[in-house]
């Protein structure tokens, strides 16, 4: 049963609830100036925790992943990042199927990383692993799992899929500029974007995110304050 605990200044509301293994646990509902406020908050939190635990304890990894994505990510990221999460979700479904989230151990996850990394470059593997670390963190907050199965797992990737960056020489740069300028067309913005990148050194995502408000023609300056990858980009 939840209760109010006396503090130096006010009261803490303490919610008691039962985790997925039937173990009684406690969680703070915050500090309040009055005892009845603390108790009411604790009771409300207890009801919420018991409900969440009952609903989520048998979630599969895939179902919980999509729940996390829909609640916390989908509405605050760009289409490019959304597509990345969809690719990750497809990989999870292919490997894990209906495996319950709470049944996954660190060794199971390492086997998955080995499987996925065998055919993917480091960047793709790192982004997937980053997303899964966040998912595991949220699952711990929801008391579905007690340990982070992604902790201390080795990131494995296919080195043959790594892209080698090749830079243009000075003469190649001049050739590119001449060809770009020669084909300028106000109906097509791509060539203007290329010239902007050449003369400013801006990244592709930064150029793509530019709006007219970012350009000061009077002082010949460009304000770079965002990118098309997403202002709060995730894995």
pLDDT, one tens digit per residue, over 128-142 is 999 999 999 999 988
* Packed helices 122-141 and 106-117: angle between N→C axes, nearest 10 degrees: 160
- Take residue 169 and report the two structure tokens written for it: 């020489």
Q: What is the pLDDT of residue 163?
A: 61
Given 1.10.150.120, 1.10.150.130, 1.20.1090.10, 3.10.105.10, which CATH number is that of 61-161?
A: 1.10.150.130
Q: What is the pLDDT of residue 21?
A: 64
pLDDT, one tens digit per residue, over 146-183 is 899 999 999 988 877 666 667 788 888 889 999 999 99
d(CA 11, CA 28): 11
Question: Please, what is the end-to-end C-alpha distance for the chain in angstroms?
Answer: 40
- Take residue 14 and report the two structure tokens written for it: 């303490």
Do 113 and 153 form a contact (C-beta atoms < 8 A)?
A: yes
> Residue 125's pLDDT band (boundaries 50, 70, 90)?
very high
> Residue 144's pLDDT band (boundaries 50, 70, 90)?
confident
Q: What's the rounded mean pLDDT across residues 3-25? A: 83
- Take residue 119 and report the two structure tokens written for it: 């055919």
Q: What is the pLDDT of residue 49?
A: 74
Domain regions of the chain by residue span = 3-56, 61-161, 170-222
**What is the residue-wise DSSP string for 7-61?**
ETTEEEEEEEEE-TTS-EEEEEEEEESSHHHHHHHHHHHHHHHHHHHHHHTT-BH
Q: Return the SS3 of 142.
A: coil
In this prediction the pTM is 0.53
Do 213 and 224 form a contact (C-beta atoms < 8 A)?
A: no
| Percent of the chain's residues with pLDDT above 70 | 90
Q: What's the rounded mean pLDDT across residues 198-222? A: 88
Q: What is the pLDDT of residue 166?
A: 73
In this model, does residue 106 exceed pLDDT 60? yes
Cβ neighbours, 10 Å, residue 183 = 10
pLDDT, one tens digit per residue, over 35-80 is 999 999 999 988 877 766 666 788 999 999 999 999 999 998 888 8
Q: What is the pLDDT of residue 164?
A: 62
Cα→Cα distances 87→131, 187, 226, 228, Å: 12, 33, 24, 19
In this model, does residue 230 exceed pLDDT 50? no
């Amino acid at each position: 049963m939840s209760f109010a605990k006396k503090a130096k200044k006010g009261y803490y509301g303490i919610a008691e609830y039962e985790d997925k293994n039937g173990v009684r646990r406690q969680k703070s509902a915050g500090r309040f100036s009055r005892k009845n406020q603390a108790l009411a908050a604790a009771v409300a939190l207890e009801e919420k925790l018991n409900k969440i635990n009952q609903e989520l304890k048998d979630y599969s990894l895939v179902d919980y992943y999509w729940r996390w994505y829909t609640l916390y990510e989908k509405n605050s990221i760009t289409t490019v990042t959304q597509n990345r999460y969809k690719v990750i979700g497809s990989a999870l479904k292919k490997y894990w199927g209906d495996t319950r989230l709470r049944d996954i151990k660190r060794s199971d996850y390492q086997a998955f990383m080995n499987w996925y990394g065998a055919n993917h470059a480091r960047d793709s593997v790192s982004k997937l692993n980053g997303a899964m670390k966040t998912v595991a963190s949220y699952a711990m907050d929801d008391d579905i799992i007690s340990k982070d199965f992604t902790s201390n797992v080795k990131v494995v990737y296919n080195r043959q899929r790594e892209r080698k960056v090749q830079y243009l020489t000075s003469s190649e740069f001049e050739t590119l500029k001449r060809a770009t300028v020669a084909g300028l067309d106000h109906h097509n913005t791509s060539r203007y974007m290329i010239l902007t990148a050449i003369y400013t050194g801006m990244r592709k995502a930064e150029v793509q995110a530019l709006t007219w408000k970012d350009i000061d023609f009077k002082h010949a300056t460009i304000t770079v304050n965002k990118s098309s990858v997403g202002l709060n980009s995730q894995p």
